[in-house]
Amino acid sequence: MGRISNGWRLAKSSWRVLSQDRELLSIPIVAGVISLIVFAIVAGAGVLLVGDNDSADWAQWIIIVLASVLAMWVSVIGQAAVISGAGQRMDGEDPTLGTAFAGARGRTGRLLEWAVLATAVSIILDVIRDRLGFAGQIIAGIGNIAFQVASFLALPVIVFENVGAIESFKRSSQLLRSTWGEQLTFTFGLGLIGFLAALPGIAVAAGAGASGVTAVAIVGVTVGVLWVLAVIAVTSTLSAVFKTALYRHARGLPVDLAFAPSDLSGAFRPRGAR
């Protein structure tokens, strides 16, 4: 319960920071839509060009990987823009969409490197999951959690230090290891909050779909989907704000007063704690 309550406090602190620049909420939505469009165009056009036969399997696989990297690239540029904007706020500035994206635009090459690395890790874990059965699912699950935890601060490192993907991963791991330990509470707390917040939208969509009335189903499902997308946008933006605060706290830089130092230090369970 302590971890959940700490996660809740951190989420509220992140929201207080975000409430000063609510226009940043639009960034994950725009990035998410563009990401889907990019994937659909590249993957769809590529598969159509190479055709559908046995000899085209490898070509199709390469095209899907390329589409995934590009879609991931767009997504992380959006996250980097929010991180940049949050950093500007914590430096006492008044960020806009333009200044937030300017901070990310200067790191597009580095962010592409990160998109390649994240996609490669995802593919490797998927192969392990598919090839090793139940054991593969366990290994892939543990590997995914380990990567997410170790790379938690990778994007802030790229945005604020302008280093490559491998170096940002190392720096992220070092920042976590040199501060408070290994186990994040914010991600679990925010995930739970997001799940609970999305339930009304899911319930509306499910109820409307089961009504048997076409008009009700269309309206209800649309409202439910928009609700869930809004929740995803909010939680994604809150996560980016928190990462910025945690990175700055780890580096000894000023953090918004909305965050209590004790909560940031408690975002990880100290090594050896039980």
Q: Is 71 within a domain?
A: yes
Average pLDDT over residues 139-162: 90
Q: Residue 116 — pLDDT band, cuts 50, 70, 90?
A: very high
Q: Is 121 within a domain?
A: yes
Q: Residue 271 — pLDDT band, cuts 50, 70, 90?
A: very low
Distances (CA, A) of 124 to 50, 72, 121, 231, 244: 24, 16, 5, 30, 28
Counted domains in the chain = 1
Q: Is 53 within a domain?
A: yes
Q: What is the pTM assigned to this prediction?
A: 0.83
Report whether 166 contacts 117 (CB < 8 A). yes
pLDDT for position 231: 87
Q: Is 157 within a domain?
A: yes
Alpha helices in the chain (DSSP H): 2-18, 26-50, 57-90, 97-105, 108-131, 133-150, 154-161, 165-177, 186-209, 214-251, 261-265
Q: Residue 201's closest CA among 222, 235, 227?
A: 227
Alpha helices in 19-96 (DSSP H): 26-50, 57-90
Q: Residue 130 — pLDDT band, cuts 50, 70, 90?
A: confident
Q: Residue 156's closest CA among 144, 174, 168, 173?
A: 168
Q: Is 223 within a domain?
A: yes
Structural domain that includes position 158: 2-269
Q: Is 235 within a domain?
A: yes
Q: What amino acid occupies position 199?
A: L
Q: Is 274 within a domain?
A: no
Average pLDDT over residues 250-270: 70
